Structure 1
């Protein structure tokens, strides 16, 4: 069963501020999917999908090898049609739950839909398993005989990547049906726990009970005492729940080890890399390049920042502190919209037109409210509908960057939709391309429009911090996951041991400018990526370095009709691999120099900051 999922929520520690006074922020309207949990159309879709899935299984199970090429194409089209119905239902359930995870009804509805969709999907599971058992010669003969079937070649190619790791039909069906009481149930427990948690923050008076998202936002407050109070409260709240989060993490890591062992994956990250259609060696090259660059990137920048803040050494709550003189203005929503769309339009009017629909129609949820998912994501839903964006807009420049990022996901998903439900999804290594490129377009436009040299330096420093959060921090997350999963194979890890691993990678990645207090040892437990999408996080660094290289090609004018080729890259969805997509731009991710080129962009920004006088005084 193929269910398209939202982009993973981004790390939200750097999001600060409050809603501009008197401004109403948009909330999405999910009626383009369904009118509500009791919508007769939703219930009818489920019943029809179940009938179709049973008929599909009855008519095709055990017979694929005997089908002609055209008949196999017809079967694929019917399979995709039913999958898209199930995808629409689960998209609606996921979005409803993300909008308010505190609502017990939303949680029950989400679980009920997962169970029903999983049950229906059990009747479709045979199809991909049986396709993978077809002999290569037979399948190629069918493709050669049918131009209609040939259209599915990219999907069949990607499906057969998992052929060596496929288990018997009975085991695959068991794993499929137990998902709702396994990983999915632990995911829901994590989400609902975070949504219901309250963080005590003392700011001179009685402690204020805040949501996790609101408390994390205060880690970027201008007042150092407020940042420390928020950090103390976060440590207390997560410390009180650390046994539960340790149990969830240990259980899911063991679950992954068991399944990886059955599927003969050589290491914990391999299954994610297979899904991303990228070789283990390419990911290793990226990680090695970033780790080797820690001293010239994060260590160097944070040493400068400590001096700018007048500190001998920083605490963890100083990492995202505003710089001296950085009076980050509150940006109204309408101005954020204009800044992002203007930047997109300068690059490509078509891109801006696709993006404008998200604002003109109720496709964005930017409002701040209890129970809403923290961070930001773009959900592709299904090609017969449209994506939805979730952001938590506090009115700061970094929120504008987040909006530009998620809008990039949204327009990418719309452009790729023509590939159909099964082939429009993009591997995670390329899923961040449009989002990070959209961020870069918006940042460059804002930087070029700023005439005050002091303000430009502050904007540049802010961008460096965002890039360090995207590249250095995410690779540190990846290393934490790798070390944790490797050690979990020897036995369950205590919360104290998990904290030691976390603190080790933080010291390694952020450098000697920081003096980490012991209470920072629980901060691993709020990161949703570790629970929802293990080993996802390197995709952020992959995307950032890829876009740095891609944007360099654009700026240098090395490729004729760059914008046209770029939109073609987005339209390809999941039909092409990274080597094919980057070839028109003269780039190759398998070349070690490729990653250095991307990291050099960040180092160049830091060089520019070092050479800029007056930074410390703002």
Structure 2
């Protein structure tokens, strides 16, 4: 073998340097697995195909469901799923294009055009679920004797939960069509406003996401400057955000009154297939633990930071000894991969596929959605993940979180488009479990007491943000929705509700400046998915209890865990947790999850 051939088999220094640099480049996703471009022929063909199938579907089944046999209803459900998956593919593509850069007018126009077309198409077969709910209990029970139709029972059960609240076909159709120019239009205005916000910071302006990231800076002045910049911009836009909130809350109230929901979160609870009483038990358990969890921890943090009182911009401040050195993208990938792989190589293999495929967008750029999400798209493709990677430890946990969603979505995809959809309360299970795996992997390998202290404090803060903060958000929403029944709310009233719930949840360690009253404005869940937020606390407490079972050496835990994720939306929370000996309807279940946070704080006090 010649020297030159030996040389080509061994990467030289420049090649290795180039490869390392490339591995540190933040990825952007490639959406061509959905469609080549917004104006491609494939997308136009799918819109036409959907229209043809919907016409055929309507002609065959409209007004005839009560007379169908079990076999015919099974055929109708299969056709219904095919149509929905086509529309789901188109809608996913438009939503991801919009999230990539919502300041691009072509993107926003494409998103709105597609949204209107899908709404128009879906209106034409809205009759199907409405007529399914009009079937008598006896009719449905008789049809369920057919084993082939039995596979659709979870979907039919989910639809029929809302049966008591269903209106006439004409009114349901009106609500559906008006959403484009009603709630959805206001949500779009909110998104586009957030995307274009420019936050003043010293001698420059930055995006909302960049400014929020500065609230985790190790420099107190930098945190304060970012907070003041955010406050000034939120205040300038306060009237608009208040109008959007008042309008959407009133819009929801009108719908709830027509449908007969007894409380503002009841529809969300029905969608999540969870009883009001279970949500109440969760909220009560968390609020009863405020003093022992968040109040106790933040008093410790004030002492560690050497201050009498914390300001709101200190909430996510790193500890003095936590320099939070930037974590390179390639290192973040390694950390998360190893955590999943150590738990189960099957999950590690799936994580590896995500990390080496153009399915993740972590690049920082203007106009991009400021949050993080995993979009399941459709079972025939794969999920896409969006996050904004600043190189902080919390970003690594976000990566672990969203990859957990991605794994869940891929495993559940085998159930098909309709049955793969997991209720929000269970949708956070794999994501939060992935965070716990990553944290425990890092903690296990840490022997230095100072570094262990840092890791524990970071984890406790993340858990408080997931549990305490989200329940405070839920209580804020309840106050806003209940007060809106009487009158339109002034910005000051909304701000007061925000301050009250924040003071109660965070405790006496904080001294809130008046400008903090505006910080409710940037929480998108209040706009897009009212009462979504308790699902985070539900998921965190559930995972804490679940992880305890794993640590205790529960037999075949990994296999049972993967089977739970594969179930998607085919089982209730009771059915999914039963194999692990857990029951979310038991009030003690929530305390078991909260005790995990409590134990971490105990260890921090001892350190």
Q: Secondary structure at the match of 1:382?
A: coil
Q: Secondary structure at the match of 2:239?
A: helix
Range with bigger deviation, 130-139 or 254-263? 130-139
How many angstroms apart in 2 are the aligned matches of 1:506 and 1:339?
A: 33
Q: SS of 1:200's equivalent?
A: strand
> Which residue, 395, 398, 408 being the options, matches 2:391?
395
Once the two structures are superposed, residues 348-367 of structure 1 have per-residue CA deviations (whole angstroms, 9 ceiling, x without a partner) of: 11111122111111000010
Taking structure 1 as the reference length, what is the TM-score of the superposition?
0.94
Equivalent of 1:479, from 461, 475, 480?
475
Counterpart secondary structure, 1:220: coil
* Equivalent in the alignment of 2:590: 595
Q: Which residue of 1 aligns with 2:76?
A: 75
1:523 to 519, 524, 538: 519
* Structure 1 stretch displaced more, 239-248 or 53-62: 53-62
Counterparts in 2 of 1:438-517, with a 5 A limit? 438-517=434-513
Q: 2:266 aligns with which of 235, 250, 270?
A: 270
State the 1:143 CA deviation. Answer: 2.0
Q: Which residue of 1 aligns with 2:363?
A: 367
Partner SS state of residue 385, structure 2: strand
Q: Per the alignment, in what secondary structure is the counterpart of residue 551 of structure 2?
A: helix
Take 1:588 and 1:143, find their aligned partners in 2: how far apart are those partners? Answer: 27
**Alignment correspondent of 1:615:** none
What is the aligned partner in structure 2 of residue 215 from structure 1? 211
Structure 2: runs of 5 or more not aligned:
1-19
Asked if residue 154 in structure 1 is aligned to residue 154 in structure 2, the reply is yes
How far apart are residue 289 of structure 1 and its match? Answer: 0.5
1: CA distance, partners of 2:265 / 2:21 = 46
Kindly indicate whether residue 568 of structure 2 is the aligned counterpart of residue 567 of structure 1: no
* Offset, 1:128: 0.4
Shift of 1:147: 2.1
Q: Runs of 5+ in structure 1 lacking a partner?
A: 1-19, 613-618
The answer to whether structure 1 residue 63 and structure 2 residue 58 are counterparts is no
- RMSD (Å) for aligned C-alpha atoms: 1.0
Shift of residue 466 of structure 1?
Answer: 0.4
Question: In the comparison of the two structures, how many residue pairs are matched?
Answer: 587
Deviation sequence 1:72-94 (CA, Å, 0-9, x none): 10010001000100000000000
Question: Displacement, 1:332?
Answer: 1.1
Which sits farther off after the overlay, 50-59 or 266-275?
A: 50-59
Report 1:66-465 matches (<5 A): 66-144=67-145, 146-202=146-202, 206=203, 208-465=204-461
**In the alignment, which residue of structure 1 is the partner of 2:12?**
none
SS at match of 1:515: coil
Partner SS, residue 139 of structure 2 = helix
**What residue is the counterpart of 2:10 in the other structure?**
none
Q: Summarize deviations over 1:433-462 as a string: whole Å, max 9, x none.
A: 000000000100011112211101111011
Deviation at 1:21, TM superposition (A): 8.5
Q: Counterpart of 1:12? A: none
Alpha-carbon shift at residue 327 of structure 1 (Å): 1.4
Higher relative contact order (CA 8 A, sep 6+): 1
**Distance in 2 (alpha carbons) for counterparts of 1:490 and 1:167:** 25
Q: Within 1, Cα distance between the matches of 2:352 and 2:530?
A: 33
Q: How far apart, CA to CA, are the structure 2 residues paired with 1:75 and 1:548?
A: 41
For residue 310 of structure 2, give the secondary structure of its aligned residue in structure 1.
coil
Write the distance in 2 (CA, Å) between the matches of 1:424 and 1:355.
Answer: 20
* TM-score computed with the length of structure 2 as normaliser: 0.96
4+ runs deviating over 6 angstroms: none
Q: Does 1:585 align with 2:573?
A: no
Please give the alpha-carbon distance, in whole angstroms, between the structure 2 residues aligned to 1:147 and 1:295.
Answer: 52
CA distance in 1, matches of 2:565, 2:437: 16
Distance 1:381 1:355 in 2: 18
Which region of structure 1 is more displaced relative to structure 2, 339-348 or 515-524? Answer: 339-348
Q: Deviations over 1:404-458 (max 9, x none)?
A: 0000000000000010101001000000000000000010001111221110111
Whole-Å Cα distance in 2 between the matches of residues 75 and 123 of structure 1? 15
